[in-house]
């Protein structure tokens, strides 16, 4: 599995970028749970901005992609 830290470290503070379930090689349900935590508490070195993109899986709307902004906080 690709590490979220690997993606974040490549970005400069203030940069906007997208994180998807596919990038992290996660199932939609796993990514949705992780993204929900990021929405509430922020992620390791980034904050979610905008509205997350959702897809329908088995009749359930799950977060499949988020746009984030890199912060200056350490990872």
Which of helix, strand or coil describes residue 63? Answer: strand
Q: In the chain, what are the domain boundaries?
A: 4-70
In which residue are the tokens 């203030």 written? Answer: 14
Q: Are 45 and 74 in contact (CB under 8 A)?
A: yes
**DSSP letter, residue 11:** S
pLDDT tens digits for range 13-22: 999 999 999 9
Query: Consecutive sets of 10 residues in the chain, 75 residues long: mean pLDDT of each?
Result: 82 94 93 95 92 94 96 72
Helix extents (H) in 1-75: 4-9, 21-24, 28-41
């Amino acid at each position: 599995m690709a590490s979220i830290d690997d993606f974040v470290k490549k970005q400069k503070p203030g940069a906007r970028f997208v994180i998807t379930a596919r990038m992290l090689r996660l199932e939609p349900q796993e990514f949705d749970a992780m993204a929900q935590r990021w929405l509430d508490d922020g992620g390791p070195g980034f904050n979610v901005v905008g509205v997350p993109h959702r897809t329908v899986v088995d009749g359930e709307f799950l977060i499949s992609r988020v746009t984030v902004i890199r912060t200056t906080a350490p990872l």
